[in-house]
Amino acid sequence: MAITKDHIREKLIAELGAIHVDVEDTSPNRCATSFKVLVVSPQFEGKPLLQRHRMVNTCLATELKEIHAFEQKTLTPEQWEKQKQQ
C-alpha cells in the first residue's frame, strides 16, 4: 500500500497530538517515496530537538521503512506562532 500525505498527517495528529501538520510529497523531486513534514505539537514542549525528531520517527516507524527520504521540522505551538509572524 502506498503511503499517502493524509495517512502521515492523520497518524501524527492521532499519536503526537499535533495541532498542525504540513505534509509535502517530495517524491517527484527524488527517485523514490519522499516526504517533508512540519509538525506542530504541544507534546514537543520542553523537549530537545533530537527527542522531538525521535518522537516523529517512532510514530512513523513502519512508514519510514518504505520512505526513501524524509525531512522533518518540529515546532511547539508557541514557536509556530512566532514563525508565522515572521
Partner 1 sequence: RWMCSSSSDEEVLKNLGQMVKKDKVVVFMKGTPAQPMCGFSNAVVQILRMHGVDQYTAYNVLDNQELRQGVKTFSNWPTIPQVFFNGEFVGGCDILLQMHQSGDLVEELDKLGIRS
Q: Is residue 49 part of the contact set for partner 1 (CB under 8 A)?
A: yes
Q: Residue 13, interface with partner 1 (CB under 8 A)?
A: no
Select from 1-9, 13-21, 39-47, 63-71 the region that touches partner 1 (CB under 8 A). Answer: 63-71
Cβ within 8 Å of residue 72, ≥6 positions away: 36, 37, 38, 39, 53, 56
> Does 14 contact partner 1 by CB under 8 A?
no
3-state secondary structure of 75: strand
Q: Is 82 in the site for partner 1 (CB under 8 A)?
A: no
Q: How far apart are CA 19 and CA 39, in angstroms?
A: 8
Give CA–CA dist 66/75, Å, rounded.
25
Q: Which of 13, 43, 53, 77 binds partner 1 (CB under 8 A)?
A: 53
Rounded least distance, CB 23 to partner 1, Å: 15
The residues of the shown chain that bind partner 1, judged by CB under 8 A, are: 49-50, 53-54, 57, 61, 64-65, 69-73
